[in-house]
Amino acid sequence: MSIAVVTDSTSDLPVDIAKQHGISVIPLNVHIEDETYLDGVTISADEMYRRLPDQKIIPTTSAPSVGTYIEIYEKLAETHDEIISIHLSSKLSLTYNSAANAAEEMKAKGTRVEVVDTEQASMALGWATVQVAEHIAAGGSIEEAVALAKSSSERASFIGMVDTLKYLVRGGRIGKAQGFVGSVLNIRPILTLIDGEAHPAGRARNRKKGIARLVNMVVDAAPLDKLAILYTTDRADAEAIANQVAEHIPGGTPIVAQLGPVVGNYLGPGTLGFGLIRSESKNIPEPRSKK
């Protein structure tokens, strides 16, 4: 059985990695004043970060429509028997809900679509999707793919150190990190996702100490299956972190990836972080041999 793999643009998957693994990426919408853009398609991350600090009207984002998902699913169904669709936390966006509604419509048309809420974002979501695509390429079934998507998500972490919480606050995505508000003068808040919502993960008195803290957090999480060092505007700092933690991942070189327009809209310029998946802690069935 041929299985298609789908995710959304909040996975922040670099284009070459998505293409390498045959992953279809559905863009979310970015609304700036009276214009609507497709995340990473008609607006780049660099343009978003250039415009973000000066916007008088707060940019907003929205999920792809059910119709958009159906269009993609129908196209994939022409060449695949089944589809697994792996998405951003449903507590942060209606993206999962749109996918789930589209899957129900596809079921009525005779195509099986399994939709997974990872409760993750950025490359924590991206890596979970990659692991599923790798498993399917090795002959894994749709049931195994769903189990692996859930296991990978449970072993995944997305961490971000932000220069300011104002973008999360104004975008309504502050979550359980609300306790940081009002006490963040001269510190760098470090955030993570727990049960699909933003939570405090630490703080640093300045950027240098914050970078050291991020490095220590990666080391503490080892051994790792996957690691990406993430940034919005400061690639050089991200590359420095990558060099410091290289020995802790298979192959020795983590990728460095830019946070896309949707995720970056809520974290803001100057953000650094990482997305990772810890090494296997649960037994996932070996893929069955292809017939």
Residue boundaries of the structural domains of the chain = 3-154, 156-278
Q: How confident is the model at residue 36 (pLDDT cuts 50, 70, 90)?
A: very high
Torsion of CA 142, 113, 78, 284, to 10 degrees: -20
| pLDDT 10s digits, 52-62 | 988 888 899 99
The alpha carbon of 25 is separated from its chain's Cα centroid by a whole number of angstroms, namely 11
Q: First-to-last CA distance in the chain?
A: 9
Q: Does the structure show a pLDDT above 90 at 259?
A: yes
Q: How much is the pLDDT for 8?
A: 98
What residues contact 123, with CB distance under 8 A and at least 6 apart? Answer: 11, 12, 13, 158, 226, 228, 230, 257, 274, 275, 276
* b (16+ CB within 10 A) / e for 13-31: bbeebbeebebbbbbbbbe
More confident call, 282 vs 139: 139
Q: Does the structure show a pLDDT above 80 at 214?
A: yes
The alpha carbon of 158 is separated from its chain's Cα centroid by a whole number of angstroms, namely 8
Return the top range by mean pLDDT from 180-189, 214-223, 280-289.
214-223
Rg of the chain in Å (alpha carbons): 19
State whether the Cα torsion 130-252-273-50 is positive or negative: negative
Q: How much is the pLDDT for 281?
A: 52
Q: How much is the pLDDT for 165?
A: 78
Q: Residue 114: helix, strand or coil by DSSP?
A: strand
| pLDDT 10s digits, 117-158 | 999 999 999 999 999 999 999 999 999 999 999 999 999 999
Q: What is the mean pLDDT of the chain?
A: 90
Q: How much is the pLDDT for 252?
A: 75
Class of domain 3-154: alpha beta
Q: Residue 245: helix, strand or coil by DSSP?
A: helix
Of 107-121, 138-152, 270-284, minimum mean pLDDT range: 270-284
| pLDDT 10s digits, 159-206 | 999 988 777 776 555 454 445 444 555 688 899 999 999 888 988 989
CA of 234: how far to CAs of 159, 162, 185, 255, 266, in Å? Answer: 16, 12, 21, 15, 16
User: Do the Cβ atoms of 11 and 29 come closer than 8 Å?
Assistant: no
Q: How much is the pLDDT for 181?
A: 47
Q: What are phi and psi of 3, to 5 degrees?
A: -120, 125
CATH number of this structure's domain 156-278: 3.30.1180.10
Sheet holding 60-62, edge to edge: 35-38, 29-32, 60-62
Amino acid at 38: L
83: which 2 tokens? 């589809």
Average pLDDT over residues 270-275: 96
